[in-house]
Structure 1
Amino acid sequence: MSVSEIRPIAIEDELKHSYLDYAMSVIVSRALPDVRDGLKPVHRRVLFAMHELGNDYNKAYKKSARVVGDVIGKYHPHGDSAVYETIVRMAQDFSLRYQLVDGQGNFGSIDGDSAAAMRYTEVRMRKLTHELLADLEKDTVDWEDNYDGSERIPQVMPTRIPNLLVNGAAGIAVGMATNMAPHNMTEVVHACLAYADNPNISIEGLMEHITGPDFPTGGIIYGKSGIVDAYRTGKGRLHIRGKYHFEEDQKSGRTTIVFTEIPYQVNKAKTIERIAELVKEKKLEGISELRDESDKEGMRIAIDLKRGENAEVIVNNLFLNTQLENSFSINMVCLDNGQPKLMNLKDIIAAFIRHRQEVVTRRTMFELRKARERGHILEGLTVALANIDAIIETIKSSANPAEARERLQAGEWAAGGVVALLEKAGSVSVRPDEIEGEDPNRPFGLDGQVYRLSPAQVTAILELRLHRLTGLEQDKLHAEYSEILAQIAELTAILNDFNLLMGVIREELAQVLQQYGDARRTEIVESRIDFSREDLIPEEQVVLTVSQTGYAKTQPLSDYAAQRRGGRGKSATSMKEDDYVQHLIVTSNHATVLCFTDVGKVYRLKVFEVPQASRGAKGRPMVNLLPLDANETITAILPVIDAPKKFTERLADFRSYVKANAAHLQTNAIIAAQYAELEAAFTELADGDDLSDALRVQLKQLGVELSATDLDDEIIAEFASQAEALRKNFYVFMATASGTVKRVELEQFSNVRSNGLRAIELNEEDTLIGVAITDGEQQIMLFSNEGKAIRFAETDVRSMGRAAKGVRGMRVSFGSAQVEDVEDVEVDGDDEDSSDSALISRIVSLVVVPETGEVLCASANGYGKRTPVDDFPTKKRGGKGVIAIKTSERNGELVGAVAIDESKELMLISDGGTLVRTRASEVAQTGRNAQGVRLIRLGENETLVGVEAIEAVEEDEFVEAIEGAESLVAETDAVAETEQVEKDGENSVEE
């Protein structure tokens, strides 16, 4: 090269052009599939090579190395490993929804195992693959040269199946990528047929046929929003979960979680390893054993749980921390007319139908051309038979074949039977459009009563065998000519009538549907189930305590076994010398609590957000959990989990019930999509429908037959009470130390802001002492520290707004100045005014009581008693109340009261942090004037500060032994208490 031939170029220009050329090469020739056949170049070349090798589905397998060699040698000059990996993937049943290669040997596994070397494995095309190559030899697609110009390869396959949708595609190009999900053949073909019938069909109309992706590994897609986005815009995101069920071991009482399907493109072995790591690192508890029981029958990952573990919670943790829940991002980028394009569902189906129109049109034209050529040959053979002697003589007298060809073509032969054939043809043209070597002045064919033979006809005559000269063969020629005429007429009609053309396309799609249509593997659940923290935390009853200085913590209720009354209890928390437990709540760790403060604000807090701590720990300051202002303290805590539960929250309970009681119901048969139908049925119950009948009707629609005994009275009563609850309005009832009460609709606290909400306007020095949820028709009792109580109907207090101050509930000496501003009422004049000690009275407890039942009063020195609610007369609000318990020197002042019955248990806690859990039935029932019996044994200078009633927990009852001197003291106290009870009884009679 001379210096004059060197041309300077700016490097940025060269980089721009070279990189653009490279990018387009990658986009068009490597990474993106063609929208028409759904294949990338390497896939297309592999299948074409197998086709050329005759590697058909009904023939013997060939070594993979043979196919790879042909592909890289003739069509694809790249690495053999890349070509072999392509073949392997097309043979894997967990990679392609509809495999294109039938592999024999080790082609890898869902565990990530590699395929055997290509010299060991064998392949052939599957029957379905022939549908991609059908009519390839009929000039249905354009062809191009291979890389060295020695071979011709198709630019696209004349596929009969919408391969891009049914098998999907994935690839990374330059500046763009594609990731298309596989779909179900039946659904896609139905959508194609719907589009063929109505090209103006909407995407929503197509989605009536294609419900969503259908992955080869099955699984469950949660949420349809990602599917809708993908089908409308070409981009979307799916969430896929593995499919599982529970197996119960009746003997051991253990549960096994069994996964039978996992999300698409997830490695099973690595998923199992990840679960094992979580268990080892103690990030996932409750699993005792993990096994891979997969075999030729299918996948089976067995996860044995420890006895008593919540299987649903562990499953939720598995979904959150492993790829058993995975996302799949759809990006439908493909080549359309050689250009990369983001396409929606309708675009892809429309492109496929257009491709089929072109293929069928070109095939029809090809077949028409061949039919006319054959008809033309049949005319020549008929002429030859009519002039057989002369033609034979001409051939015999010719010096060579060339001379014979010239003499036959130059001659004019008697038309004979050709006239009848052409008359039969009528308007159907059998003559080819172009005939080689024809002279316009002397055309081939019939001219009057003579017939001139074309070169093609002469060739056919020269190749004619002698046995074709019989009369029978002449009849066959005439019959074949008739068939050709019918074929030409049909093909011509197809080309001239678009509706007939579309009819052919529909018919072939119907054949594909009949041969290859199958059922869906992937289920689709309508609504996406997002994890909340509750889903990952096992539900249990806990004790929530908040100290006077604002330290909060939770402890499992099981930490406190039931004791005999009067026990010493266990240390519940470590207290400073000047601190004590102020609030004690027993509730679910999934509950939401409303925290009311001394300034009248309310905050919302999830119980599980309060850290669980040991009995000796102080806990965490509330200012770290809630945005409390300086000097703002919690004065009341209200759990709201049961106020009431909605039906959607009861569906899980119902599912567990059906599983446990309907043995013939297949495990996990009722999926989340069907819960929406159940919810609709439950909603109707609010109108008074019979619950058991409604449940049975709904279950029958789901294919579950339940007998009358399957739905027992307990479950019916439970759900019926829920239906009744929905018809009521619920209220938050508040009481302050000064005796002010207020009732606000619970709905007003449904959206408590993160920085709190104003709940009540408080006067100076007044504090909120109690909050309860009511249904608008209940009985309210207020208890003062001087041992008095008042009972009145909730309806005596009108419903107010959050900003209201409230009305007088009970007249007490504390804060008398503060309650002057609130509404007053006329009160009954029979209030009792007797106390063993002069106290500044204040309200200490707000209790919502049943019509019948009992209340338990507890005093500062650890004494208490049960009293029937009927012993407290119902009065108007605003009075001073009647005696509830003697506040003697032995008892001290009243610190709390709760509504109970004999089935409940009591939680008692002291200012020293000691907590006792005891049966309510062990506390003696006495009259209102009695002093009661010992509830808890307190230490020196220790005071009882809180009492809470809880539901009894079923467990092995045990009593902690009090050894040595403690036993003697307890016996002595018991005798003394018995004597005191007898004396109290006498006092009550005198009263």
Structure 2
Amino acid sequence: MSSDAPDPDVPDDVANRVKNVRVDDEMEQSYIDYAMSVIAGRALPRVEDGLKPVHRRILYAMHEAGVTSGSSHRKSSNIVGDTMGDYHPHGDSPIYDALVRMAQDFSMRYPLVDGQGNFGSVDGDPAAAMRYTEARMASIAEELLTDIEKDTVDFQANYDDRLQEPTVLPSAFPNLLVNGSSGIAVGMSTNIPPHNLGEVIDATIHLIDNPDCTVLDLMDHVKGPDFPTAGNIVGRSAVKKAYQTGRGRVRMRAEYHVEEDDSGDSIVITELPYQQNKSKLVERIADDVRDEKLEGIRDLRDESDRNGIRVVVELKRNANTDVVENHLLESHLERTFGVINLALVDGQPKVLTLKEMLEEYVAHRKEVVRRRSEHDLAEAEDRAHILEGRLKALEQADEVVDAIQNSEDRDEAKDALKDDFGFTQAQADHIVRMQLGSLTSMETAEIEDEYEDVSARIERLEEILGSESELLSVIKDELREIKDEYADERRTSFIEDTGTVTDEDLIPEEDVVVVLSEQDYIKRVPADTFDPQHRGGKGIIGTDLKDEDRVSAVFTASTHDYLLCFTNQGQVYKLKTYEVPEMSRTARGTSAVNILDLDDGEEISAVVTADDLDFEADEEYLTMVTRHGYVKRTTVGEFENILSTGIIAIDLQDGDELADVEVTGGNHDVVLGSERGMAIRFDETDVRAMGRTARGVHGMNLEGEDRVVGVAAVEPDDDRTLLTVTEFGFGKRTALDEYRKQSRNGKGLVDIKTGDRNGSVVSLDTVADGDNLVVMSEEGQIIRMPVDEVSTYGRNTKGVKIMDVEEGDEVADVCVYTPIEADDEKDENGEDGEDGEDGEDGEDESADEA
């Protein structure tokens, strides 16, 4: 057989019917068709009834099957099967998921399905399989289908052309606003929050009465979204924007309160933001507590039951309730609801304002009531016509009966009635079917009464159809009936938006002592925990140390201070004082790695309060000194932006360490002090300003193993004194004018005698009357005293006992601060030191100057 023979199944003109199209054009059009199918057929609700096709088909299938609020519950699998087989051929899972959501009272403000069985929970538990649950329509759902049999809405063929289904439901209330909607289409999404039924109906009636009203006028009635899980809405500005533009971001906050008892406070959560999973909320809070992101929580329990939500967050005794509350709000108890009022209007997606949504609904109800009235009018007119025939027949009952009796059959009787008495075909048909019992006088009276009622109904329907005001009056009356039947109290409350609440806003400003140990434990303690004492006492326990751990640094600050923490390795970190956990004076503290990203062996050597720094100023500097005697100045502007991992403050070489940092203003003198009691004073301008990564220049010429311990800034005409403290707890104050100015890199003058009694110098600072002094030993003893307790002596003296340091212990650090408020001095456990020879002014002239 020849291979060139034509195929008999292929038409001759097939080549002429082939169209050449560009692939990109075909793909674009096909994608647009698909997108519009998803938008209109699945994902977006219609503005008129607020339902997507799947929800509408479920309700209509239940209506057709008689599964109403007055019937018994029906297996969910049966309802899903009817819906899928007759109207929605997209699989049983999405149909059942939609059915379940309509039955959840935590998802729908007014559930449209009355479920029986396990329909899920606010914890995110899934519903039981459809073969185990039962459902029927809720009574309010029937209001969406009221009068659907009266030609009130358009119908279309179902997917296989066997049946007809409604394109929209009559919807006796604005369901789109009342229950809201959410969905994701192709390139767009909708997220409409639920509202209170009574408020929405009041706004609808107001719009009908005042078509020119504004959105703000409608907001007098619709206060805002009303979520099924109650909770709070923070502020009204976002709600106003959403109603005026169709888009907005509404902040939702859980409802909670604080319960107090002897064991500590508890934060009790009783209402959740809409669509928040309770079990995941509890899990996330527990994770944050475990990861030490959330401090101060002792226990966490979910005590919720069928009566409502109750999640208890128990706090530790020393926890700051306000701070824990703020952290919970910031991370867990607030959510944002992104309002997108997108719905289908005439088959097209459109973002709607509050007024536009209600206007579209009112237009829909006008059409429904008009079509219903026309349908009812036609039925009433047909009935009146029949009743007129019956009354006419009763007036001539004998003649009519004779005419029927004399006829051969029904058709001849009907013709006789039409020809001899003037009845219409419909009237003749009815009269022929009448029973003789209807000819009684009582029956006649009933027909006359019915005719009067039907005539009045016709008149009323004609009035409604002939006057828009009467039609709108009907709509308003029906809305009021719905409100009276189903409206309830508002659940979601409004609270004022006070802006972003920071921890600083919640924490009272107070002086605190921050303690760090060599093994990187850190804590803060209110300064007033330590009563002021006389000098020379042993102090009290300031921290509980682990074996072989020792105090490495102590400093004072206000809880609101923003601190620059400089380390011995030349790094600088930023820290808010309140970020350090507050603990009792006998507590060990928490690991510093949770607060500062310190490396092994890295310790804080100086702290500067940044709140008073002017980062824009060119004549404000941070002056740094190293253990090897180097000094450098860097403008404060270089430290404005500090990473969480810190930045370099100074370049250190040959095993050098950063010793201390002071703020200078370009016209200061600086005083450097060493471990062996030497001090040198020179003009800060002797050190040129340089960048952060510079090493600096020689500031002090040290002998042997001597090292710099600190730097003090001296203002012009400064009336303060220089405080020097040694490792064995001795110290003194000396007038600044006893330290004459020299050139930098000199050996300096003798500041204090060191030796066996005093030990090496550990601290150098300028102090003023009214300042407080805090001294802490390496073993954790701490003493606080007014600096006035420390006597003033000349240079080259031994000083007086400031703290009674036990054998084997040494002073770890000293800090000076000016109290926010003067403390009442108390003499408790204060023990005066003996001045005696300790205070003798025995200057060593040979060591006075090098």
Q: TM-score, normalised by structure 2?
A: 0.71
| Counterpart amino acid of residue 95 in structure 2 | V
Deviation at 1:526, TM superposition (A): 3.5
Distance 2:491 2:718 in 1: 54
Give 1:492's aligned residue: 462
| CA-to-aligned-CA distance 1:925-950 (integer Å, 9 cap, x gap) | 98999998521368999999753355
Distance 1:924 1:566 in 2: 11
The alignment status of 1:262 with 2:272, answered yes or no, reads yes
Deviation at 1:924, TM superposition (A): 5.6
Distance 1:481 1:940 in 2: 113
Deviation at 1:200, TM superposition (A): 1.4
Q: Which of 295, 318, 322 is equivalent to 1:285? A: 295
Deviation at 1:525, TM superposition (A): 2.6
Contact 2:793-2:799 at 8 Å conserved across structures: no
Q: What does 1:732-771 align with in structure 2 at a 5 Å threshold?
A: 762-763=666-667, 766=669
Give 2:587's aligned residue: none
Give 2:536's aligned residue: 565
Deviation at 1:888, TM superposition (A): 9.2
Give 1:509's aligned residue: 479
| CA-to-aligned-CA distance 1:560-617 (integer Å, 9 cap, x gap) | 9858735499999xxxxxxx99x98522343246999xxxxxx9974468999879x9
Distance 1:768 1:407 in 2: 134
| CA-to-aligned-CA distance 1:340-387 (integer Å, 9 cap, x gap) | 222221111110011111111112222222222222111111110011
Deviation at 1:619, TM superposition (A): 9.3
Deviation at 1:33, TM superposition (A): 0.7
Backbone CA RMSD of aligned residues: 5.3
Deviation at 1:36, TM superposition (A): 0.1
The structure-2 alpha-carbon separation of the partners of 1:856 and 1:29, relative to structure 1 and needing over 3 Å to count, comes to: same
Contact 1:93-1:99 at 8 Å conserved across structures: yes
SS across alignment from 2:78: helix
Distance 1:316 1:618 in 2: 22
Contact 1:243-1:259 at 8 Å conserved across structures: yes
SS across alignment from 1:239: strand
The alignment status of 1:977 with 2:847, answered yes or no, reads no
Contact 1:544-1:554 at 8 Å conserved across structures: no
| Counterpart amino acid of residue 762 in structure 1 | G
Distance 1:482 1:760 in 2: 103
Deviation at 1:479, TM superposition (A): 2.3
Deviation at 1:41, TM superposition (A): 1.2
| Counterpart amino acid of residue 432 in structure 2 | L
The structure-2 alpha-carbon separation of the partners of 1:464 and 1:944, relative to structure 1 and needing over 3 Å to count, comes to: closer
Distance 1:846 1:568 in 2: 36
Distance 1:466 1:936 in 2: 125
| CA-to-aligned-CA distance 1:811-846 (integer Å, 9 cap, x gap) | xx987999xxxxxxxxxxxxxxxxxxxxxxx98599
Aligned length: 708
Q: Which of 167, 171, 174 is equivalent to 1:155? A: 167
Distance 1:982 1:61 in 2: 98
SS across alignment from 2:464: helix
The structure-2 alpha-carbon separation of the partners of 1:909 and 1:217, relative to structure 1 and needing over 3 Å to count, comes to: same
Contact 2:50-2:180 at 8 Å conserved across structures: yes
Give 2:431's aligned residue: 461
Deviation at 1:286, TM superposition (A): 2.9
Give 2:405's aligned residue: 396
The structure-2 alpha-carbon separation of the partners of 1:5 and 1:283, relative to structure 1 and needing over 3 Å to count, comes to: farther
| CA-to-aligned-CA distance 1:521-569 (integer Å, 9 cap, x gap) | 22233426436465899998644699xxxx9x99534499858735499
Distance 1:591 1:975 in 2: 34
The structure-2 alpha-carbon separation of the partners of 1:545 and 1:35, relative to structure 1 and needing over 3 Å to count, comes to: same
Contact 1:565-1:919 at 8 Å conserved across structures: no
Q: What does 1:410-809 align with in structure 2 at a 5 Å threshold?
A: 410-412=419-421, 452-527=422-497, 529-530=499-500, 532=502, 534=504, 542-543=512-513, 555-558=522-525, 562=530, 565-567=536-538, 586-592=556-562, 606-607=576-577, 637=609, 762-763=666-667, 766=669
SS across alignment from 1:492: helix
Contact 1:74-1:151 at 8 Å conserved across structures: yes
Which sits farther off after the overlay, 587-596 or 301-310? 587-596
The structure-2 alpha-carbon separation of the partners of 1:500 and 1:5, relative to structure 1 and needing over 3 Å to count, comes to: same
SS across alignment from 2:274: coil
Q: Which of 121, 127, 132 is equivalent to 1:109? A: 121
Distance 1:119 1:895 in 2: 81
The alignment status of 1:375 with 2:279, answered yes or no, reads no
Deviation at 1:201, TM superposition (A): 1.3
Contact 1:543-1:586 at 8 Å conserved across structures: yes
Structure 2's unaligned 5+ residue stretches are 1-8, 544-550, 567-572, 582-589, 614-619, 624-635, 643-662, 687-711, 740-750, 842-850
Which sits farther off after the overlay, 96-105 or 372-381? 372-381
Contact 1:858-1:947 at 8 Å conserved across structures: no
| Counterpart amino acid of residue 190 in structure 2 | T
Distance 1:172 1:193 in 2: 32
Q: Which of 89, 100, 105 is equivalent to 2:112? A: 100
SS across alignment from 1:294: coil
Contact 2:779-2:809 at 8 Å conserved across structures: no
Distance 1:54 1:618 in 2: 68
Contact 1:542-1:555 at 8 Å conserved across structures: no
Contact 2:255-2:271 at 8 Å conserved across structures: yes
| CA-to-aligned-CA distance 1:74-117 (integer Å, 9 cap, x gap) | 22223122222221111111111110011111111122222222
Contact 2:724-2:732 at 8 Å conserved across structures: no
SS across alignment from 1:920: strand
Contact 2:621-2:664 at 8 Å conserved across structures: no
Q: Which of 238, 253, 274 is equivalent to 2:250? A: 238
The structure-2 alpha-carbon separation of the partners of 1:313 and 1:480, relative to structure 1 and needing over 3 Å to count, comes to: same
The structure-2 alpha-carbon separation of the partners of 1:540 and 1:466, relative to structure 1 and needing over 3 Å to count, comes to: farther
Distance 1:53 1:847 in 2: 98
The structure-2 alpha-carbon separation of the partners of 1:923 and 1:356, relative to structure 1 and needing over 3 Å to count, comes to: same
Distance 2:684 2:430 in 1: 126
Distance 1:942 1:136 in 2: 90
Deviation at 1:195, TM superposition (A): 1.0
| Counterpart amino acid of residue 801 in structure 2 | R
| Counterpart amino acid of residue 318 in structure 1 | L
The structure-2 alpha-carbon separation of the partners of 1:285 and 1:959, relative to structure 1 and needing over 3 Å to count, comes to: farther
Structure 1's unaligned 5+ residue stretches are 413-451, 573-579, 597-602, 625-632, 642-733, 738-748, 770-784, 786-812, 819-841, 850-854, 867-877, 881-886, 961-973, 985-991
Distance 1:161 1:959 in 2: 78
Give 2:747's aligned residue: none
Q: TM-score, normalised by structure 1?
A: 0.61
The structure-2 alpha-carbon separation of the partners of 1:554 and 1:897, relative to structure 1 and needing over 3 Å to count, comes to: farther
SS across alignment from 2:256: strand
Q: Which of 152, 157, 163 is equivalent to 1:145? A: 157
Distance 1:405 1:915 in 2: 118
| CA-to-aligned-CA distance 1:869-898 (integer Å, 9 cap, x gap) | xxxxxxxxx9x9xxxxxx997999995434
The alignment status of 1:344 with 2:353, answered yes or no, reads yes
Deviation at 1:391, TM superposition (A): 1.2
Contact 1:61-1:122 at 8 Å conserved across structures: yes
Give 1:936's aligned residue: 803
Contact 2:387-2:451 at 8 Å conserved across structures: yes
The structure-2 alpha-carbon separation of the partners of 1:543 and 1:401, relative to structure 1 and needing over 3 Å to count, comes to: same
Deviation at 1:468, TM superposition (A): 1.9
| Counterpart amino acid of residue 69 in structure 2 | Y
The structure-2 alpha-carbon separation of the partners of 1:96 and 1:531, relative to structure 1 and needing over 3 Å to count, comes to: same
Q: Which of 213, 235, 246 is equivalent to 1:201? A: 213
| CA-to-aligned-CA distance 1:127-153 (integer Å, 9 cap, x gap) | 111211111122211122222222222
The structure-2 alpha-carbon separation of the partners of 1:384 and 1:212, relative to structure 1 and needing over 3 Å to count, comes to: same
SS across alignment from 1:217: coil
| Counterpart amino acid of residue 95 in structure 1 | S
The structure-2 alpha-carbon separation of the partners of 1:218 and 1:484, relative to structure 1 and needing over 3 Å to count, comes to: same
The structure-2 alpha-carbon separation of the partners of 1:538 and 1:467, relative to structure 1 and needing over 3 Å to count, comes to: farther
Identity %: 41
Distance 2:641 2:792 in 1: 46
